[in-house]
Structure 1
Amino acid sequence: PRLESWPLESVASVSARDRAGLGSLEAFSETGRLACFRYTVARVGEAKALAEAFAAVRAGEAAAAGNRSQHEAPEAAEAEAPARLGVLLRLLRFARPHLEVLALGVALTLGTTAAGLVPPYVTWPLVDEILAPYQNQVQQAREATGVGEAQRHERLEQVREKGAAPFSRVPWYLSAMLGAALLAWALGWAQGWVLARLSERVSADLRNTTYAHLHKLSLEFFSAKRTGDLVSRISSDTDRICYFLSDTLMDFVTDLVMIAGVAAMLFYMDPVLALVTLCSFPLVAFLTFRTRRRLSRGFLRGSRAWAEMTSVLADTIPGIRVVKAFAQERREVQRFRAANARIVEVNDRVNRLWTFFWPMVALVNQFGLIIAWAFGAWRVFDQQITVGVLTAFLAYIGRFYARLESMTRMANSTQRAAASAQRIFEVLDRVPSVPEPARPVQPGRLRGQIELSGVSFRFGNRLVVDEVSLKVEPGEMIGLVGATGAGKSTL
C-alpha cells in the first residue's frame, strides 16, 4: 500500500468519529482536511487513542502510557430532571397558525372578567345609599322613647314613604347585576368554545408533527425505546396536553385576569385594607413554589410508569398466540401486575403531597378572610370606610381567594401537562443519527448482487455483527439462522 506522511507541525488536529458501525479518522491542517481514513467498529478504541494522543502532544502533554481498552465505558444513566413549566411555552409554536382565534379567545377572557367584576361593585351604592340609611331610620323610629305605639307606627310609615324614592333604584341595580351575570355567562360560553376549538387543533398539529418526526429518526432511536412508550407519548401525553389547553389553561388565564382585576378594585376602594387583606398571598405563592418541583418529578415518574404498563400491553396483546403457545399467561399477568403496582406506588407519593398542599392553601385563605373581616370592622369603627365599602370589599376578597384556591388546584394538571410536554419534546428534539444525504449518489442500474466483506455493526456499545462476510448472487435465496439477539435482523 502507498504510504503518506506529513510534518507534525502541519497537522492542526486529528478527530475520530464513528456512526452506525463505520468510523472516520480525519487529519486537518489550518487550511483544510489533509486525509481521511476509514475503519471498522473493531478499531474504535485504537482510533480514539490515536486522536487523544495527538491532542496531548499538541497540548505539550505526555501521552498516557499503557494499552487502552477497545471497548468504551458504558454511559451513565441520564438523570431524571423534573419537568419545568417553561416547556409549556414551547407549545406556542403550534398556536402560531391560529393567532386570530387566540386573540379572540384573549378578548373574550378579558370581557368575561370585566363582566364578573360588576356585581360586587354595585353592592357598594346599594348598601351605602339605600339599605344602610333606610335601616338607620327604621331603627331610630323603633327605638324612639316617650311615644306611644300608634305614634311609633306612624313614624315607621313615614320612613317607608320617604324610602320609596331611594328604593325605586333597587331594580336598576339588580338589573345591572343580572345583566352582568348574563353577559359573563355568554362571554364565558364563547370563550370556552373558541379556546376548546383552538386546543383541539393545536393538539392535532402536535400529534401530526410528533408522528412525522418519528419517521425521520434512525433505527437506533427505536432500538432504545419500547413501543408502548412511544405509543403513550403520542396518545396519552398529547391527550393530557389537550385537556390542559382546553380546560386548565383557560381557567388559569381567567383566574389570573380576575385576580388582577380584583386586586385593582381592592386598592381603588381602600389601599390600606387591601394591603392587610392580601398578606396571605405571598405565603400561598411560597407554598406553590416549594411544592411545584416535587409534584413535577412525581408526575414525570407517573408518566414513565404508565408508559411501562402500555409497553407490557403492546408486547403481550399482539403476541398473544405466542404467549399461549408457550403457556406464559401467568408470567405476563405478573408482569402487568408489577407495572400496575408501580403506577399505584408513584401516584400514592404524589397524592400524599397533593392532598396536604391544597387544604393548606384553603386554610391560609380562610385566615386572610378573617383578617379582612377584623381589619375592615376596625376601619368602619374608625370611620375610615362605610359599611357598603366593606360589603363590596368582602365580596371582592371572597372572589379573590376563591380564584387563588382554584389556581393552586390547577397545579396538579399543570405539572402533569408539563411532564407530558417534556416527553413529547424529547422526541421532537431528537435528531437522526444517520441523516439523509444532502447530495445522494445515483447508483445507476444495479445487478442485484450483494456482498459483505468483514462487516461489523453495533448498537451503542453492544457489538451485534462482528466481521461477517457474505455474498448473495442475483436470484439466490438464503436463510439466516441464529439465537435471539444474534444480529439476524440487523444484518
Structure 2
Amino acid sequence: MAETTDIIDDPLPPDIRNQLTDMLQPSETIQFSTTSDIRLDGTFGESWLLATDLQFLSFGLNAGAVSDIVQLPMQEITGIEVKDLVGSGQLKARTANEGATLARFSKGLNPKFNDVAKKLETLVKEAQPDLEDEKVLRGRLGRTAAGKRCDACGTVIHHRSGVCPNCLETRKLLTRLLSYAKPHWKLGVISLFLLLTATFIGLLPPLLMRELIDNVLEPASDPFFIKEDGYAQLYMLVGMFFMINLSSSVLSAIRSYILSKLGQHVTYDLRNQVYQHLHRHSLSFYNERETGRIMASITQDVGRLQDFISDGLQEVIRDILTIVIICVILFSMNPKLAALTLLSTPLLVYTTLKFSERFHSTYRGLWRRWAGISALLADTIPGVRVVKAFTQEDREVEKFETRSKELLEGEVRVAGIRSVFSPIMAFITSISTLVIWFVGGGSVIEQTLTLGNFVAFTQYMYRYYGPVQSLCRLNHRFQRASTSAERVFEVLDTQPDVIDQPNVIKLPRIEGKVEFQDVTFSYEPGKPVLQDLSFTIEAGEMIGLAGHSGAGKSTLINLICRFYDIESGKILIDGHDLQDVSLKSLRDQIGVVLQDPFLFNAPMVENIAYGKPDASLAEIVAAAKTANAHDFILRLPDGYDTPVGERGVRLSGGERQRISIARAILRDPRILILDEATSSMDTETEAQIQEALHRLIQGRTTFAIAHRLSTLKHANRLLIIENGELAEIGSHDELIAQDGIYARLCHMQTELSQIRAL
C-alpha cells in the first residue's frame, strides 16, 4: 500500500491503516480520508470514508476494530450527491445500478460533507478511464473490478474472498454449524435425555429445603414437638439430598462425556470437509491467500468450533432449560415475587445485545491478527536458511514482535470489554436480588409467606440468575465461535475456479497429441499472458519452450495440466477438449518434473510412489534405477525407508531432482513436463539427471523449459514465446538460420558463457 499523497480533514491512524492491508492493492494510493459520527447502519459511532485511486471504502469502528466494510470501485461511480434527512444526512455515490451510501452524518457535519462531496466528485472525474485505458484499469483492480459482486446484496466481494461478508449472518452460521451434528443424532438424543433428567433432579433441593424448614426446623421450637418424628423426617430429607447430589453428579459426568464426543465427531467431519474442499480449489485460490491464514482456518478456527459445540452448546441447552423450568416454579410459588425477579431480564438481554456487536467486531480483528502471525511463521520458518544467510534474525524477530504486539492490543481490548460487561451484569442482578429480599422479607414478617417458602424461592432465584449470567458470559465464546464459523464457511462456500463440467468423460489412454487453437489466457482481467496461441504437437515429440522471463512459458504448461481455465479458444489432447474430460483422468496421464522439486516429510519410498501409491517395491526400485537414484538411496542409513525431511531438506538438490524424476517415471505419463529440471546443477549431477531424463522422455510427448538453451538442442521443435504470442517455431538449426529471437538468445548465452570462462 503506497503512502497517502493528499489526505484532508482527518489523518488515518496507523493501527487502522494496518487493518486495511487486505482491502487494498499493493500499489493503491489513498487520496482522501475523513471521519463521520454515524455508522452506515444508522447507529451513532465513529466511521471512516477513504478514497483511493481505484475505489471508495467505507467502514465503521467498534472498539478500534474495522467492521461493516463497503467497497465500491471508482470506475463504477457516475456521480456524488449529498442527501438531507431529518436530523442527519447521507453521502451517496451514483452508479449504473442503484448506487450506494458512502457515509452518514449528523446535521452538524453538513458543511463538511458538502466539501467532501465536491472533493470526491473531482476524484471521480479524474479517475474515469478512456475507452482504451479501461482494460488496464480493470486489470489493476483485478477480480473486484471485474464485477465480482454478491448476487443477493450487490456488495463488492474482496479478491481474496469467495463470499459476501454482509450475507454471512451469525445466526445462520451457527445454525449451519449445528447441522453438522445431524449424522450423530443418537448421541444428541442420549445427551438430551440425560440433560433433562439431570436438570430436573438438580431442581429438587430447594423444595426439600422448604420441607425441612417449615416441617422440621420451625416446628422444633414448639414444646409439644415430637423429636423422634423430627429426626425421622430429618434423616429422610438428608438422605434424599445425598441421593440427588450423587445422581446429578453421575448424570452430569456421563452427559459431559457424550457431548464432548459429539463435538469431536462434528469437528472431525468439518475439518475433513474443509481440507477436502481446499484440494478442489485451483492454483488461483492459493495464489491469492497466505498459507498461514489457510492453516489457521483448519486448525485454530475448527478447534474453537469444537470448544463451542462440546462445552458452549452444552451450557446453552442446560441454561435455557433451567431458566424455563425455574420460571414455572417461581410463578407457582409466588407470582408477585416471580414478576419482580424477571423484571431485570430485559435489561440483561439489552446489555448483552449491545456488547455482542463490540465482541463480534473485536474477535474479527483478533482473527486477522492470529492469522497474520500464522502467515508470518509459515513464511519465515521454511525460509530460515535465507534468514540466517542474510543475518536478518533481528529483523524477523522485530516483525514477529510487531505482530505479537498487535495481537496483545487486540486481546487487551477484548479483556477490557469483558471487564466492563461482567460487572454490569452482576450489578443488575444484585439490584434485583435486593428487591426480592426487601419485598419477600416483608412478606415473611407479615406472615403472608412462610420462611421455608421464602428460602426456597430465593434459592430458585439464584438458580435463575446463575444461568442468565452464564448465558451472558457465554457471549464472548459465542462470538469467537461465530467468527471462526464465518472463516471456515467462507472457505467452504468459495467455489473452485476449475471444476469438472457436467457430463465430462474419462479421458482414455492417450497417444499425446496436443493442440492449442486460438488460446487466450490472463491471470487478471485486462492483462493477457497468452494471446491467440495456436500450434499442434504430434504424439511423442519433444518440444522445447524458450523465451524471455515472463513470456508465458510456465503459464502454457499450467494450461496443459488445466491448473487454470482459458478465457477463449480450445486446448485439445488427442482430439479431446480439456473442458470435456475429467480433471483426474487428464492429470493421471501427465508427469511433471519441476526446477525445485517438492518432497514430503516421509520415507524415500513414499515420495517415489506418491503418484502411484499402490506400486510394488520392485516397481519403485526400477523407477529409482532408471532415474539414477538407486545407488545414492542405498548409501542412506535406512535405504528406501530413510525419511527425507521437510521439503527434502536432508537431500542435495541433485538427489531431490532424481527422486522427482523417479516419481514421474513410476507414474508412466503420456505427457511429460520438464520445468527447468537441470538448472543450478553441477556438471556431474547434470549429466546424471540428463541421462535419467533421456530414458524418461522416450515414447512420450515432452514439453521442456530450460534457461540453458543448449539443453534444448535435441528437441524435435522449439516454441519461442514472446509477450504471450508464438513468435517462432522450428528445430534448433532452423531457428538459428532464421536469425530471430531464438538466435539472439543463444548468442547472448554464448557471450555470457565466454565472460564466465574468463
Q: TM-score, normalised by structure 1?
A: 0.76
CA shift in 2, pair 1:163/1:417, >3 Å? same
- Name the CA distance, whole Å, in 2 between partners of 1:390 and 1:481: 90
Alignment of 1:222-237 (within 5 A): 222-237=286-301
Counterpart residue number, 1:475: 542
1:70 aligns with 2:135: yes
Q: Secondary structure in 2 aligned to 1:410?
A: helix
Q: Is the 8 A contact 1:83 1:297 kept in 2?
A: no
The one-character-per-residue Cα deviations of 1:248-272 (angstroms, maximum 9, x if unpaired) are 2112211221121211111111111
Q: Is the 8 A contact 1:233 1:423 kept in 2?
A: yes
Q: Secondary structure in 1 aligned to 2:385?
A: helix
Alignment of 1:170-209 (within 5 A): 170-209=234-273
CA shift in 2, pair 1:226/1:83, >3 Å? farther
Q: Secondary structure in 1 aligned to 2:460?
A: helix
1:123 aligns with 2:209: yes
Question: Which stretch shows the higher mean deviation, 428-437 or 448-457?
Answer: 448-457
Counterpart residue number, 1:407: 471
Counterpart residue number, 1:216: 280
1:131 CA displacement: 1.1
Give the unaligned 5+ runs of structure 2.
1-95, 97-128, 145-155, 159-163, 557-758
Question: Which stretch shows the higher mean deviation, 342-351 or 286-295?
Answer: 342-351
- Name the CA distance, whole Å, in 1 between partners of 2:461 and 2:428: 13
Q: Is the 8 A contact 1:464 1:487 kept in 2?
A: no
1:321 aligns with 2:385: yes
CA shift in 2, pair 1:66/1:240, >3 Å? closer
Taking only the aligned residue pairs, the percentage that are identical comes to 31
CA shift in 2, pair 1:87/1:77, >3 Å? closer
Q: Secondary structure in 1 aligned to 2:343?
A: helix
Structure 2 residue identity aligned to 1:475: M
- Name the CA distance, whole Å, in 2 between partners of 1:328 and 1:419: 35
1:105 CA displacement: 0.8
Structure 1 residue identity aligned to 2:452: G
- Name the CA distance, whole Å, in 2 between partners of 1:186 and 1:249: 20
Alignment of 1:313-392 (within 5 A): 313-392=377-456
- Name the CA distance, whole Å, in 2 between partners of 1:162 and 1:295: 60
Give the unaligned 5+ runs of structure 1.
1-54, 56-64, 138-158
CA shift in 2, pair 1:85/1:442, >3 Å? closer
Alignment of 1:127-276 (within 5 A): 127-135=213-221, 137=222, 159=223, 162-276=226-340
CA shift in 2, pair 1:479/1:291, >3 Å? same
1:454 CA displacement: 6.9
Structure 2 residue identity aligned to 1:122: L
- Name the CA distance, whole Å, in 1 between partners of 2:411 and 2:522: 38
Q: Is the 8 A contact 1:124 1:388 kept in 2?
A: yes
Q: Is the 8 A contact 1:124 1:392 kept in 2?
A: yes
The one-character-per-residue Cα deviations of 1:48-85 (angstroms, maximum 9, x if unpaired) are xxxxxxx9xxxxxxxxx973622454335648658614
1:449 CA displacement: 5.9
Q: Is the 8 A contact 2:271 2:302 kept in 1?
A: yes
Q: Is the 8 A contact 1:276 1:372 kept in 2?
A: yes
- Name the CA distance, whole Å, in 2 between partners of 1:427 and 1:203: 15
- Name the CA distance, whole Å, in 2 between partners of 1:328 and 1:83: 44
For residue 303 of structure 1, the aligned residue among 341, 346, 367 is 367
Q: Is the 8 A contact 2:530 2:552 kept in 1?
A: no
Structure possessing the higher relative contact order (Cα contacts under 8 Å, 6 or more residues apart): 1
- Name the CA distance, whole Å, in 2 between partners of 1:66 and 1:233: 42
1:97 CA displacement: 1.2
The one-character-per-residue Cα deviations of 1:431-461 (angstroms, maximum 9, x if unpaired) are 1222212233666665546566775433344
1:100 aligns with 2:167: no
- Name the CA distance, whole Å, in 2 between partners of 1:440 and 1:233: 32
Q: TM-score, normalised by structure 2?
A: 0.50
Q: Is the 8 A contact 1:128 1:388 kept in 2?
A: yes
CA shift in 2, pair 1:431/1:404, >3 Å? same
1:217 CA displacement: 1.9
Q: Is the 8 A contact 1:195 1:250 kept in 2?
A: yes
Q: Is the 8 A contact 2:180 2:266 kept in 1?
A: yes
Question: Which stretch shows the higher mean deviation, 347-356 or 192-201?
Answer: 347-356
- Name the CA distance, whole Å, in 2 between partners of 1:181 and 1:128: 22
CA shift in 2, pair 1:247/1:179, >3 Å? same
- Name the CA distance, whole Å, in 1 between partners of 2:527 and 2:402: 31
1:200 CA displacement: 0.4
CA shift in 2, pair 1:93/1:288, >3 Å? same
- Name the CA distance, whole Å, in 2 between partners of 1:487 and 1:333: 37
- Name the CA distance, whole Å, in 1 between partners of 2:521 and 2:391: 35
Structure 2 residue identity aligned to 1:433: D
- Name the CA distance, whole Å, in 1 between partners of 2:253 and 2:192: 13
Structure 1 residue identity aligned to 2:235: P
CA shift in 2, pair 1:360/1:71, >3 Å? same
- Name the CA distance, whole Å, in 2 between partners of 1:77 and 1:348: 31
- Name the CA distance, whole Å, in 2 between partners of 1:440 and 1:172: 76
Question: Which stretch shows the higher mean deviation, 418-427 or 452-461?
Answer: 452-461
1:345 CA displacement: 2.1
The one-character-per-residue Cα deviations of 1:17-49 (angstroms, maximum 9, x if unpaired) are xxxxxxxxxxxxxxxxxxxxxxxxxxxxxxxxx
More helix by share: 1
Alignment of 1:26-105 (within 5 A): 67=131, 69-71=134-136, 73=138, 74=141, 75=144, 78=158, 84-105=170-191
Q: Secondary structure in 1 aligned to 2:177?
A: helix
Q: Is the 8 A contact 1:85 1:415 kept in 2?
A: no
Structure 2 residue identity aligned to 1:342: E
Q: Secondary structure in 1 aligned to 2:497?
A: coil
1:175 CA displacement: 1.1
Q: Secondary structure in 2 aligned to 1:169?
A: helix
- Name the CA distance, whole Å, in 2 between partners of 1:333 and 1:238: 28
More strand by share: 2
For residue 491 of structure 2, the aligned residue among 405, 427, 437 is 427
1:179 CA displacement: 0.9
